[in-house]
């Protein structure tokens, strides 16, 4: 392998977040461990448009980060035509999520492996380790996604519905054997499949369909979704489990994540806290620590900090106040309190600091309270039971994390 190729997709507005990810990779690469063979990272940024000024800033970023560890940044502008013609659903008003499916058109032919990463991630480990993993006879290394019903519906009656629930993976991280991908003509299969099925979850649905039985399941710590820190039940715990990993594997990932994935709406540039991890740190802190070190784009990123720090102040305070009522056994007052606070606000109580150990539960309680308020009297009356169930779930999760 001549270098470590990494694929990223980013719009003009998302480039600063991509540079934060790149910076986290560079800062967590141990030059000493490389044994003098510090082969460069080669970042391929796939986009629909990047202004000249942004491209110049990326060039400056490359120069500054190369002082720490060698890297190259290459930009490829892609055409949406193939995706528009097949009426594929847009994500965030664009087709960028599908660009990774065409990576072999941009990649050096001699490449053996390529790693795709979503830009809403932060790397906390030496990423060269994942490139050294043996994929055996598989096309791709992946981390399994949340367990849910994933039904692929056909565009016409000539194809049957397909259940992808078993083995469905998160496409935010893909370690691809390039030679096998090309030999098995995966891109051709992908393009052909676009005529056959509706891909509700965009590229993730396509890849889980095409690569079924062609993937190696990687350890969970390589792609830890932030929601796992507050809601994860493993397969051996029975019932409605949502994680297809063992409890030991989940605990290891939560305690020692190598990549944190701020997926869906859990973006640290919008909410600088998100949730508290097993070490008592806000998950957003890891991202902001790197944002401050990101060359060239530092000021642009840090301008988002003030609004991000205020993102869920009211929700956290609301949830914490209701939690205190619950701990005193005053469950019958919760509907009244929730309604009154939603109507009148919290005044000075919103600025109080919430103990880290209570933060996650407070946020989840506030979600239930806000939902109950918006849905009306019936849902409000059920609020005490929902909060009690949350308390029980969090207590059980704590015991499982501690191995009790």
The encoded tokens of residue 26 equal 């560079």
- Helix pair 383-401, 247-255: axis angle to 10 deg: 90
Q: H/E element holding 4?
A: strand 4-9
- Would you state the pLDDT for residue 165? 75
Average of per-residue pLDDT across 357-370: 97
Can you tell me the mean pLDDT for 248-264? 97
φ/ψ of residue 238, rounded to 5: 70, -175
Do 342 and 321 touch, CB atoms closer than 8 A?
no
Predicted confidence (pLDDT) per residue in 341-351, tens digit: 999 887 655 55
Of 3-7, 116-120, 204-208, 250-254, the one with minimum mean pLDDT is 204-208
Greater model confidence, 212 or 349: 212
To which residue do tokens 């308020």 refer? 373
Output the DSSP codes for 292-309: TT-TTTHHHHHTTHHHHH
- 204 pLDDT band, cuts 50/70/90, is confident
Statement: residue 277 has pLDDT above 80: yes
DSSP class of 275: -
What is the number of alpha carbons within 13 Å of residue 30 lying toward its C-beta? 8
> Picking from 100-109, 167-176, 266-275, 289-298, which range would have the lowest pLDDT averaged per residue?
100-109
Residue 37's pLDDT is what?
A: 63
Backbone angles phi, psi at 197, to 5 degrees: -130, 160
Taking only Cα atoms into account, the Rg of the chain, rounded to an integer number of angstroms, comes to 23
Confidence category of residue 325, pLDDT binned at 50, 70, 90: very high
Beta-strand relationship, 151-154 and 224-225: unpaired
Strands (E), 41-108: 41-47, 71-77
Which pLDDT does position 162 carry in this prediction? 80
Rounded to whole angstroms, how far apart are CA atoms 278 and 45?
Answer: 33
Angstrom distance (rounded) from CA 328 to CA 107? 61
The pLDDT value recorded for residue 196 is: 81
pLDDT band for position 1 (50/70/90)?
very low
Higher pLDDT: 396 or 202? It is 396
pLDDT score for 404: 47
Q: Which of 329, 318, 343, 320 is nearest to 384 (CA)?
A: 329
Residue carrying structure tokens 């790693």? 115
Amino acid 241: pLDDT: 85
Q: Specify the pLDDT at position 83.
A: 76
Determine how many CB atoms are found less than 10 A away from the CB of residue 201.
19
Average pLDDT over residues 278-299: 98
From CA 97, how far away is CA 91, in angstroms rounded?
7
CB 73 within 8 A of CB 179: no
Residue 348 has what pLDDT? 59
Question: How do residues 37-87 score in pLDDT, each as one tens digit?
Answer: 689 999 999 999 999 999 999 999 999 999 999 999 999 998 887 777 766
Q: Which of the residue ranges 11-20, 183-192, 314-323 would you say has the lowest mean pLDDT?
A: 183-192
The pLDDT of residue 349 is 58
Q: DSSP secondary structure string, 107-131? A: S-TT--EEEEE-SSEEE-S-THHHH
| Torsion sign across C-alpha atoms 397, 398, 401, 404 | negative
Mean pLDDT of 120-129: 97
Does residue 237 carry a pLDDT above 50? Answer: yes
Average pLDDT over residues 3-26: 97
pLDDT at 110 over 80: yes
Grouping H, G, I as helix, E, B as strand and the rest as coil, residue 394 is helix
């Amino acid at each position: 392998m001549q270098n470590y190729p990494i694929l990223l997709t980013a719009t003009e507005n998302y480039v600063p977040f991509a540079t934060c990810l790149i910076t986290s990779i560079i800062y967590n690469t141990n030059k000493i461990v490389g044994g003098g063979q510090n082969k460069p990272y080669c970042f391929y940024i796939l986009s629909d448009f990047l202004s000249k000024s942004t491209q110049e800033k990326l060039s400056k970023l490359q120069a500054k980060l190369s002082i720490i560890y060698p890297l190259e940044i290459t930009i490829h502008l892609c055409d949406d035509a193939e995706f528009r013609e097949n009426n594929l659903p847009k994500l965030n008003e664009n087709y960028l999520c599908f660009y990774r499916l065409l990576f072999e058109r941009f990649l050096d032919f001699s490449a053996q492996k390529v790693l795709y990463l979503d830009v809403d991630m932060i790397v906390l480990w030496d990423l060269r380790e994942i490139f050294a993993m043996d994929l055996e006879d598989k096309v791709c290394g992946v981390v399994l996604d949340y367990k849910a019903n994933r039904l692929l519906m056909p565009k016409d009656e000539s194809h049957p519905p397909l259940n992808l629930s078993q083995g469905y993976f998160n496409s935010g991280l893909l370690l691809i054997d390039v030679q096998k991908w090309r030999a098995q003509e995966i891109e051709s299969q992908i393009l052909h499949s676009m005529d056959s099925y509706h891909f509700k979850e965009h590229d993730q649905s396509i890849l889980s369909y095409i690569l079924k039985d062609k993937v190696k399941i990687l350890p969970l710590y390589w792609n830890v979704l932030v929601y796992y820190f507050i809601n994860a039940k493993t397969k051996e715990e029975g019932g409605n489990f949502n994680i297809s990993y063992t409890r030991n594997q989940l605990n290891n990932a939560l305690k020692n994540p190598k990549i944190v994935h701020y997926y869906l709406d859990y973006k640290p540039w919008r909410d600088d806290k998100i949730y508290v991890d097993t070490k008592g740190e806000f998950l957003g802190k890891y991202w902001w620590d790197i944002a401050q070190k990101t060359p060239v784009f530092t000021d642009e990123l840090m301008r988002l900090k003030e609004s991000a720090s205020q993102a869920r102040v009211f929700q956290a305070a609301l949830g914490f106040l209701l939690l205190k009522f619950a701990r005193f056994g005053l469950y019958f007052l919760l509907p009244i309190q929730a309604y009154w606070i939603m109507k009148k606000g919290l005044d000075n109580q919103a600025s109080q600091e919430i103990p880290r150990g209570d933060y996650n539960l407070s946020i989840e309680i506030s979600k239930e309270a806000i939902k109950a308020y918006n849905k009306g009297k019936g849902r409000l009356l059920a609020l005490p039971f929902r909060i009690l169930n949350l308390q029980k779930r969090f207590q059980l999760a704590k015991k499982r994390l501690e191995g009790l």
